[in-house]
Structure 1
């Protein structure tokens, strides 16, 4: 029997800033603990991402027991509490969703605005704010933080190996900002997965992930290029979108650890069907 394992766990405390790799990590109602619990918004209360501001890729994140730490070139570290004092309620927009967020601090706003050369504010999602997942793909009880739409993005190692072979490049997995990386399965095996179990947690995979321009941004330099979108457009195009990875929802809380066994419980037609 094929032996698949969890080989990567990544969380992104602040939406569209650099992520953190973990050997094991708790899973809460909204996904990985602290994953995209914070985000940046502009003066119109619209979320900001690397799509508009590639320099966001240069801001590193770190977590301690009590703090979120942001660091960036030529900037002193910004240390913020994991449990912020209540700030101003700001109704913010993530794509088509409206959700309440709270401001963090003027210090954070100034630090980020200075580095990104644009006026912005840092907000966080209070624990009592529930953002539901699109009901077309989820149960009524499914929740998500400030991620684009789903608590998890799953990609297999060999999918990236195959894509890099097509490109003749060696792009790192960090370009694609997954939460969970799976080893031991064939390239794009995840396209057919509908239900899997990783360790003791069950996942549903209702929708493939269509990709935007963010994977074209080098996370170390914030420089943009044409790949991988050029190659994805050639080999993974369906209905005028390109796909890489699978969005996922979870049925239990618990802890995920590198090396956890991945069991495929239900398969279906490939998403995308190419």
Structure 2
């Protein structure tokens, strides 16, 4: 019997919800996987080192790993109205962030990439020092004046008001205003060396897991809340509703167009290496 494939994704509710049926052995036809739960910054590093077979990564890391990994057309996080936010303690215009000290959860994340694309236009002269902090420390740091602003993701869009903070810019709104496209956040990738037939099987298993999650949301609830740690159940539900959508089941032409737009715009500014269209051309065939 072959060894299980190695899979890593975050403990965030959208990922545990999507992959519950597969990783918990509820899909008899799906390849067996050995699951690791890790924050996205860790899985980005694992992908860059080629350590695992299947990973959830940031779209911002994609150009660095496409020699070894193929983008799967399902399971990821894209959408409308779900972008990262830039938070401040006092309301103000984005231009006030010139020279500011900004806390971010990672410099390899799509959130940071979207922030850099936005700041290139909205903050004359650019922001100042970038400080990497664990996600849960960013809002308290902004509240307590340790940084001038914070870039936050995921459930923070539902909870920042509890810290008395204000949203000075929504990276998703800015992206959609400029492009009219959904916001590419997280991708599922699998090792190219597994071969096309198995890659198609992994895409099929991911789609089947998404369908199972949607068909019976209650089946994964205890599992999702267990891994969501201290997140309140209603916040976890909002998180899933926002990040699990039609693009999770099928990236489609529109989703892939959004990914290409993100990568091309980032390459234009020198933020990422350029990715030839041919590298992504087989994605929708999986």
The structure whose RCO (Cα within 8 Å, separation 6+) is larger is: 2
Richer in helix (by share): 2
TM-score range, shorter chain: under 0.3
* TM superposition score normalised by structure 2: 0.25
TM-score normalised to structure 1 length: 0.26
Greater strand share, 1 or 2? 1
